[in-house]
A and B are shown apart, each in its own frame.
Chain A
Amino acid sequence: MPQNEYIEESIRRHGRRMDHAERKRKREARQVHKDAEFAQKVHGLKAKLYNKKRHSEKIQMKKTLKMHDEKNAKQKTDDAVPDGAVPAYLLDREGQQRAKVLSNMLKQKRKEKAGKWNVPLPKVRGIAEDEMFKVVKTGKSKSKAWKRMVTKPTFVGDGFTRKPPKYERFIRPMALRYKKANVTHPELKATFQLPIIGVKKNPQSPMYTQLGVLTKGTIIEVNVAELGLVTTGGKVLWGKYAQITNNPENDGCINALLLV
Chain B
Amino acid sequence: MPDAAPPILAQFQSADGQRTGPPLSLPSDVTPEQLTILINSFLSHDDPRPYSFYIDDTEIVHSVHADILSTATRSTEDTLTIVYQPQAFFKVRAVTRCSTTMTGHTEAVLSVSFSPDGSQLASGSGDTTVRIWDLTTETPRYTCRGHAKWVLAIAWAPTGRVLASGAMDNHVRLWDPATGEAVGGPLTGHKAWITSLAWEPLHINPKGTRLASSSKDGTVRVWDTTLRRCLFTLSGHTAAVTCVKWAGDGRIYSSSRDKTIKIWNPDGSLYKTLAGHAHWVNTLALSTDFALRTGATDHTARKPESEEQAREWALERYQAARGGAPERLISGSDDFTMLLWDPQASNKPVAKLCGHQKLVNHVSFSPDGRLIASASFDNSVKLWDGVTGKFLASLRGHVAAVYQVCWSADSRMLLSASKDSTLKVWDLKTKKLKIELPGHADEVYAVDWSPGGDRVASGGKDRVLKIWKH
Contact = CB atoms under 8 A, between A and B. Distances in A.
Q: Which of B153, B362, B442, B446 has the most CB of A within 10 A?
A: B442
A191 B331 CA distance: 38
Interface stretch (A63-71, A80-88, A109-117, A197-205): A80-88
Contact of A236 (B153, B242, B399): B399
A36 interface: no
B442 A86 contact: no
Contacts of A32: none
A206 to B, nearest CB: 35
Contacts of A60: none
B361 A89 contact: yes
Interface residues of B: mostly helix, strand, loop or mixed? loop
A140 B108 CA distance: 73
A211 B153 CA distance: 57
Interface residues of A: mostly helix, strand, loop or mixed? loop
A234 B108 contact: no
B152 to A, nearest CB: 4
Contacts of A102: 421, 441-442
B272 to A, nearest CB: 25
A87 B422 contact: no
Q: Which of A87, A91, A100, A236 has the most CB of B within 10 A?
A: A87
A230 interface: yes
Interface string B89-116: 0000000000000000001101100000
Contacts of A79: 148
Interface stretch (B1-9, B10-18, B125-133, B217-225): B125-133
A230 B400 contact: yes
A104 B282 CA distance: 33
Given A83-B107, A87-B110, A234 B153 contact: no
Contacts of B458: none
Contact of A85 (B107, B153, B196): B107
A2 interface: no
A140 to B, nearest CB: 60
A87 B436 CA distance: 23
Nearest to A100: B442
Contacts of B283: 89
A228 B399 CA distance: 9
Interface string B414-431: 000011111000000000
B196 A88 contact: yes
A232 interface: yes
Contacts of A234: 398-399, 418, 420-422, 436, 438
B194 to A, nearest CB: 8
B243 to A, nearest CB: 9
A228 B439 CA distance: 19
Given A79-B148, A81-B148, A87 B399 contact: no
Contact of B153 (A86, A88, A90): A88
19 contacts: A79-B148, A81-B149, A85-B110, A85-B125, A85-B126, A85-B127, A87-B445, A90-B445, A91-B152, A91-B216, A92-B240, A100-B442, A230-B399, A230-B419, A232-B439, A234-B399, A234-B421, A234-B438, A236-B399
